[in-house]
Amino acid sequence: MKEILDVFAYCGIRYEVLTVGEGWKIVVTEHGGHIFGPFSEACPEGIFWIPEAIKDRESYKQLIDHKIWNIGGDRVWIAPEIQFNIRERSRFRETLDTPKTIDPGSYTMSRDGEAVCLDMELDLESYNTVEGSMHAVLHRMIHPAGNPLRRLPDNEDLMREISYCGFEEVIGLDVESSQDVLAESWDLLQIRPKGTLFIPMYEPLRGTDHYEPAGDHESVADNGICLRITGDSRYKIAYRSAVLTGRFGYLADSETDSSVLIIICYPNNPSADYSEEPPLIPGDTGYSIHVYNDDGKSGGFAEMECNMPTLGKPTGIRHGSDRLTKWIFTGKTDGLKRIAGKLLGWKL
């Protein structure tokens, strides 16, 4: 972590460090509002993905100076991508470009005890679904999250040889537009391949491809969907909110008997609108989880993505406040599998 913070200082990046578990810390940056880590003595390089450029401060500074979004960690954008990031639906690959107003944006950061706050205002142009513009105000508060297992009678047994850390993010979004422009908070967590991602469902339902097909990376289980995360074959796939539980998790592959389990808990609401659309299927909405697997050309990462309910004039709702939580467990793989059973309903 110290080496990474030295690079941040060299790049002129303001940051705050939060303790999120016994011996665990995260780093929140004002530039882009990214969250890095978690770091510990046992995991000094951090659990979330960060590009190789971090090993060379000049290379990383180039990313910062050119306002490149792909700097690692966990971040919050404003969706739908088809409306704000893609200029032409029929040429979605060629015209995909994240607005600099979204990332790095223009955050101001403040500290309030054991919480870090990030605030910004931005203006966005809309394409494809409706032409127009939107003014948005985004507020984020990040603070430590308690162990979700702590009230269970078998907590002590579950946590034997396991270490926990976690943080919660409260996201407030206000939007204003005279046109029918929609918007929703969109959390994207960059993870390190390889491993398996588990999406629990009340009834298994295959996802909808956005880019190249997920193909054999996706498999159906009795209680949901499994996705192989490899970082060397590009796909993006989305899952419908109606069958989702509001939790999904990732268990990293390991050559030892220890590993990492990341679980995201987010406010899935099938009654709400989710306005993201696959590029080539206009009007197909209702997806609250997206998973991206890189082909290696952007660094070889993958992303666990979840969307908050849609806001905007057509919904009659212009303010949203949502809470999502990241739970991270490290330790013996057999113990992590038991925890996945408790928190995801997944018997591994």
Q: Using one digit for the tens of pLDDT, what is the confidence trace for 12-66?
A: 999 999 999 999 999 999 999 999 999 999 999 999 999 999 999 999 999 999 9
Task: Say if residue 347's pLDDT is above 90.
Answer: no
Secondary structure (3-state) at 130: coil
* Distance of alpha carbon 49 from alpha carbon 91, whole angstroms: 29
* b/e sequence 258-268, b meaning 16+ C-beta within 10 Å: bbbbbbbbbbb
Q: What is the reported pTM?
A: 0.97
Q: Walk me through the domains of the chain, giving residue ranges and CATH numbers.
A: 2-344 (2.70.98.10)
Query: Tell me: the pLDDT tens digits for 278-318?
Result: 999 999 999 999 999 999 999 999 999 999 999 999 999 99
C-alpha dihedral (207, 187, 169, 133), degrees to nearest 10? -120
Number of alpha helices (DSSP H) and beta strands (DSSP E) in the chain: 6, 20
Pairwise CA distance, residues 105 & 121, whole Å? 8
**DSSP classification of residue 216:** G
Nearest to 200 by CA among 257, 239, 149: 239
**Predicted confidence (pLDDT) per residue in 142-178, tens digit:** 999 999 999 999 999 999 999 999 999 999 999 999 9
Q: Which helix (H) or strand (E) covers residue 237, if one does?
A: strand 235-240
DSSP string, 295-315: -STT-S-EEEEEEPPPEEGGG
pLDDT surpasses 90 at 265: yes
**Residue 346: pLDDT over 90:** no
User: Quick one: CA torsion of 32, 33, 37, 40, rounded to 10 degrees?
Assistant: 130
According to the model, what pLDDT value does residue 110 have?
98
Q: What is the mean pLDDT of the chain?
A: 97
- pLDDT at residue 348 above 90? no
Written as one letter, the residue type at 206 is R
